[in-house]
Amino acid sequence: HAKLKDFPDNFLWGASTSAYQVEGAWNEDGKGPSVIDMANHTEGVTDFKVTSDHYHHYKEDISLMAEMGFKTYRFSIAWTRIYPAGSGELNPKGIEFYNNLIDELIDKGIEPLVTMYHFDLPYTLQEKGGWSSRETVDAFENYARTLFENFGDRVKYWLTINEQNMMILHGDAIGTVDPNLENPKKELYQQNHHMLVAQAKAMNLCHQMLPGAKIGPAPNIANIYPASSSPEDMIAADNYAAIRNWLYLDMAVYGRYNTIAWNYMEEKGYIPVIQEGDMEILKSAKPDFIAFNYYTSQTVEASRDNGEEAGHTGDQQISVGEPGVYKGAKNPNLKVNEFGWEIDPAGFRTTFRQIYDRYQLPLIVTENGLGAFDKLEEGDIINDSYRIDYLRQHIEQIQLAITDGVEVFGYCPWSAIDLVSTHQGSSKRYGFIYVNRDEFDLKDLRRIRKQSFYWYKDVIATNGANL
């Protein structure tokens, strides 16, 4: 482009967290246990009991976010604080905590952007079958109604389910399903269907109850490259795009199963039970925007050997593949971060263009960022220049996408403040704000501004002009 378009006025600069990764206070003030609290955690790294203790530090944390100039803050509500058993009895202390948090944000001029559910399903629901059970759909609808009733006067932006596609694709790793089941994948696609129905119900409810509010899905969407220009690799990339990305968004936006994904499910025997009326519900619900998380792109090749399950792409530690359908492949054009995740800023722009082309809805990024072992130096200095580089390169690509004509209204990198990663502990840091703790030594949990804090503050102050 000869000339770049500016970021729009009122662009929602901010950052993200999720309840179970940042709040701590895992069993305080009436909170019930979630699947996370009851899971066996990765050996050698911390659990989620204290994390960054945001539950007790939220005022201080929000004031630091305000200092950075945040226009929005994306956080999730812990379902188990509101309904300790997933449904049934309401916990007033949980409502109170989020009322206080939301009021604090509004007071500081920060728009709350609320994820309704981020991996932490109430354990009581899990015991009754979790997302395999229809009951969880009803419980989610009831929970959604409670959130809209209690917080809808102040929360204008809602996200339904965080990374539903990752829960299905990596259900064994995220703990959505018992890997010892005879056919765990079939189970996962049943869960997927239930989550899709639950999401549609929540979107409809939001529009009925809160006419001024906006709601959308928040999957992880990534551009997918064929490993070569071979036509077979292109088909594999298309297959993977349908199964990984479009299945979820086609349903959220158009209320229909993506054809390629449906055929894949049929061939593999994963077709879910669809109850009468489900397809009508799915069809009737429409999101107002699409939120997505992006860390890395993906590359796949044809699965040439039918016995060979998977390869590695994006996150080099996670295997990706389906016999006969696609197989993860390394992208030789990309560098990887300290944790083996491929870094692909240009792929971010492609991802924007593809989503917008397909759905023509406004887009907001709800996660993007770099996990690293930050080092606290003498004088409270954390020189995370590598994080600044990563974020700068990605923001440049947002501006290019905007210049391409894509409607983007916000950017919330992961994470606002250091928190505990999904399975690699608290030493894998993502925040603009350092939390002074070690993997097992909680120290003083002091908040310290990183180099990236000052940098991002200036980015926001100049609406993206100073990168």
* Intra-chain end-to-end CA distance of the chain, in Å: 18
Q: Which of 80, 191, 192, 293 binds ligand BG6 (CB under 6 A)?
A: 293
Q: Is 120 in the site for ligand BG6 (CB under 6 A)?
A: no
Q: Which of 126, 132, 162, 426 binds ligand BG6 (CB under 6 A)?
A: 162
Estimate the crossing angle of helix 184-209 against helix 134-151, to 10 degrees: 30
Instruction: With CB under 6 A as the rule, give the number of residues binding ligand BG6.
Output: 15
- Beta strands 335-336 and 342-343: pairing type? antiparallel
**Residue with Cβ nearer ligand BG6 (226 or 371):** 371
Per CB under 6 A, contacts with ligand BG6 among 418-437 are 421-424, 428
CB of 134 to ligand BG6, least distance (A): 26
Whether 367 is catalytic is yes
**Residue with Cβ nearer ligand BG6 (146 or 452):** 452
Q: Is 163 in the site for ligand BG6 (CB under 6 A)?
A: yes
**Residue with Cβ nearer ligand BG6 (91 or 162):** 162
**Residue with Cβ nearer ligand BG6 (218 or 300):** 218
Binding mask 348-377 for ligand BG6 (x = CB under 6 A): -------------------x---x------
Binding mask 77-116 for ligand BG6 (x = CB under 6 A): ----------------------------------------
CB distance 40 to 137 below 8 Å: no
Quick one: which segment of 160-168, 222-230, 347-355, 399-407 binds ligand BG6 (CB under 6 A)? 160-168
CA gyration radius for the chain?
Answer: 21
CB of 369 to ligand BG6, least distance (A): 7
Distance of CA 457 to the CA centre of its chain: 23
Per CB under 6 A, contacts with ligand BG6 among 3-22 are 18, 21
Going by C-alpha positions, the residue among 382, 369, 372 that lies closest to residue 450 is: 382
What is the CA angle 391-393-395, rounded to 5?
A: 65
Query: What is the amino acid identity at position 108?
Result: K
**Residue with Cβ nearer ligand BG6 (166 or 329):** 166
CB of 308 to ligand BG6, least distance (A): 26
Going by C-alpha positions, the residue among 274, 125, 114 that lies closest to residue 192 is: 274
Which two structure tokens, joined as six digits, stand for 310? 């998977």
Report which residue's Cβ sits closest to ligand BG6.
421
Q: Which of 77, 166, 195, 401 binds ligand BG6 (CB under 6 A)?
A: 166
CB of 119 to ligand BG6, least distance (A): 6
396 burial (CB, 10 Å; 0-12 / 13-18 / 19+) is middle
**Residue with Cβ nearer ligand BG6 (314 or 371):** 371
CA–CA dist 301, 312 (Å, integer):
11
**Residue with Cβ nearer ligand BG6 (19 or 198):** 19
**Residue with Cβ nearer ligand BG6 (126 or 220):** 220
SS3 of residue 290 by DSSP: strand
SS3 of residue 63 by DSSP: helix
Going by C-alpha positions, the residue among 187, 209, 50, 18 that lies closest to residue 117 is: 18
CB of 419 to ligand BG6, least distance (A): 7
CB of 421 to ligand BG6, least distance (A): 3
Going by C-alpha positions, the residue among 95, 105, 22, 102 that lies closest to residue 57 is: 22
CA–CA dist 62, 149 (Å, integer):
24
CB distance 188 to 176 below 8 Å: yes
Quick one: which segment of 147-155, 221-229, 394-402, 416-424 binds ligand BG6 (CB under 6 A)? 416-424
Which two structure tokens, joined as six digits, stand for 271? 């077709």
Query: What is the amino acid identity at position 262?
Result: W
Quick one: which segment of 104-112, 148-156, 158-166, 349-357 binds ligand BG6 (CB under 6 A)? 158-166
CB of 117 to ligand BG6, least distance (A): 11
Choose the catalytic residue: 127, 267, 367, 378: 367
CA–CA dist 237, 299 (Å, integer):
7
Residue 332 CB contacts under 8 Å (≥ 6 apart), including other chains: none
CB of 258 to ligand BG6, least distance (A): 22
CA–CA dist 434, 62 (Å, integer):
14
Whole-angstrom CA distances from 413 to 14, 70, 367, 387, 416 are: 7, 11, 5, 11, 7
**Residue with Cβ nearer ligand BG6 (15 or 281):** 15
Q: Is 250 in the site for ligand BG6 (CB under 6 A)?
A: no
Residue 17 CB contacts under 8 Å (≥ 6 apart), including other chains: 54, 73, 74, 75, 76, 414, 415, 416, 417, 419
Per CB under 6 A, contacts with ligand BG6 among 202-221 are 220
Could you give the residue numbers annotated as active site?
Answer: 367
> Interface residues with ligand BG6 (CB under 6 A)?
18, 21, 162-163, 166, 220, 293, 367, 371, 414, 421-424, 428
